[in-house]
Amino acid sequence: MKKLLVIGFVCPEPNSSAAGTRMLQIIGLFQKQGCEVTFASAAQDSDFMVDLSKFGIHKVAIKLNDSSFDEFVKAMQPNVVLFDRFMIEEQFGWRVIENCPNAVRILDTEDLHCLRIARQKAFNQNRPFSINDLLVEDVAKREIASILRCDLTLMISEFEMDLLQTVFKIDFSLLFYLPILLDGFEASFEKKLPSFEEREGFVFIGNFLHEPNWNAVQYLKEAIWPKILQKLPNATLKIYGAYPSQKVLQLHQPKTNFFIMGRAEDAQEVVQQSKVVLAPLRFGAGIKGKLLEAMQTGTPSVTTTIGAESMQGDLPWNGYVSDAVEDFVDAAVQLYTDKSIWLTSQQYGFSILNKRYQKDLFEGVFVERLHHLLSAIEEYRRNNFYGALLQHHTLASTKYMSKWIEAKNK
């Protein structure tokens, strides 16, 4: 039986973020191929992490900058190692190369961190984002180096795949488009969803450890919700999200029908009972789990260009996409009050799910690519000279920095 080692940034929390859901989906693809899966992480356990043993996954605690990992991975000898985000590859990639040189190394980006960070910096400086911002971003240098060192990088966004190829000249053979995977939407499920008349209120949902979500809630509170309330004085907006800080909780204002609800026990149930999802994201990257969840629950949404980026292809959006406050407000009010537009938008969402996120569209192609890597890894790596070059210099720098930290800690 083949062995997969996943080295996690954190333990998956599928009820807290789309990242947790995606990680379990990727692991599931390997398990269907008969892989034995071990999940290792240096992160502390959380109260909301999933019980991996229920999925047949062995969980192991590891340490940063500690040679005990070398002994662990050498004894395990995995066939495939999956790094959860580039920071994890930086920490453990060189150790995997030294102790398991034949293991296929796969990076899961979740989203392109350098893009999200560069956009946020441009936003904070009150100026438009430019591709040149990426070229001077230190995180970009680290993230691109990590992508080049790995045999394959999983990308959640087609826009980001194109960006890597055009801006950073990454070869297509090193990238694989794998969005969040969903089962096909069946017409029978639609009949079980609450109707337009049975739903009420607007909703926003998102993990508050993610800065774009916190910024979007501030934007809603200060600029968007007061204008919606003028037109719909009886409407409510409920804000759900894991890990709300005190500054988030202080925005709770029942007098203006603005409610901070905290963590949702069942996110899909919360969104399903709402009439419209609001997601005015002003920076960020990747595809947005909250907007896929809106489509899955038949709930139309209003979002921004950043929010909808790379999600719909050439299909109509599940509601409206608008970057201007007045247009955003008008779209929200129209969706909330016009049943015909609401129903049409709902159908658009179902179409996006079926044509762009069905598991069957990607599962077979991914397995085929994986088998090819496993059978011809030496030939594959010969064609990635820059990856070999970066590995050489990593082993001469990151390795000794880590060993120095380990010695210092002792």
CATH number of the domain within which 161 lies = 3.40.50.2000
For the chain, how far is it from start to end, CA to CA, in angstroms? Answer: 38
The two tokens of residue 154 are 């999983």
Q: Residue 319: left (phi > 0), alpha (psi -120 to 50), or beta?
A: left
Q: For residue 293, give every residue at least 6 positions away whose Cβ sits within 8 Å of its Cβ, in sequence order, or none.
A: 205, 267, 268, 271
For residues 58 and 155, state if they share a domain. Answer: yes
Q: Which two tokens stand for residue 139?
A: 């995180």
200 shares its domain with 80: no
Contact present, 26 and 178 (Cβ < 8 Å): yes
14/108 Cα distance (integer angstroms): 16
What's the CA gap between 108 and 85, in Å, rounded? Answer: 6
Identify whether residues 340 and 368 lie together within a single domain. Answer: no
pLDDT of res. 20: 86
Same domain, 24 and 128: yes
Question: Among residues 339, 356, 373, which one ends one of the domains?
Answer: 356
Domain shared by 170 and 264, yes or no = no
- Taking the C-alpha atoms of residue 336 and residue 196, their distance in angstroms, rounded to an integer, is 9
Give the DSSP letter string of 39-55: EEESSPP-TT---GGGG
User: Do 322 and 396 have their domain in common?
Assistant: no
Is 319 found in the same domain as 277? Answer: yes
Question: Within 10 Å of residue 366's Cβ, how many Cβ atoms?
Answer: 19
**Burial category of 53 from C-beta neighbours within 10 Å (exposed 0-12, middle 13-18, buried 19 and up):** exposed
Rounded-to-integer distance, Cα 81 and Cα 333, Å: 48
Domain tally, the chain: 2
Residue-range definition of the domain harbouring residue 244: 187-356
Note whether 337 and 256 are same-domain residues: yes
State the CB neighbour count (10 A cutoff) for residue 183. Answer: 12
Q: What angle in degrees, to the nearest 10, is found between the helix axes of 18-32 and 363-375?
A: 60
In terms of domains, do 396 and 268 share one? Answer: no
199 and 341 in a single domain? The answer is yes
One domain, residues 260 and 405: no
What pLDDT score was predicted for residue 191? 66
Residues 200, 206, 208, 214, CA torsion sign: negative
Q: What integer pLDDT is reported at residue 394 of this predicted model?
A: 67
**Which of 356, 375, 395 is the last residue in one of the domains?**
356
Distance CA 162, CA 116 (A): 15
Structure tokens at 266: 């069942």
Task: Please list the pLDDT of the chain residue by residue as tens digits (410 residues).
Answer: 699 999 999 999 887 778 888 999 999 999 999 999 999 999 999 888 999 999 999 999 999 999 999 999 999 999 999 999 999 999 999 999 999 999 999 999 989 999 999 999 999 999 999 999 999 999 999 999 999 999 999 999 999 999 999 999 999 999 999 999 987 665 556 668 999 999 999 999 999 989 999 999 999 999 999 999 999 999 999 999 999 999 999 999 999 999 999 999 899 999 999 999 999 999 999 999 999 999 999 999 999 999 999 999 999 999 999 999 999 999 999 999 999 999 999 999 999 999 999 999 999 999 999 999 999 999 889 888 888 888 877 666 666 677 777 777 77
State the DSSP H helix or E strand holding residue 229, giving kind and residue range, or none if neither: helix 225-231
pLDDT at 369: 95
Sheet-wide strand order for 202-205: 258-262, 237-240, 202-205, 276-279, 301-303, 319-321
Same domain (yes/no): 174, 215: no
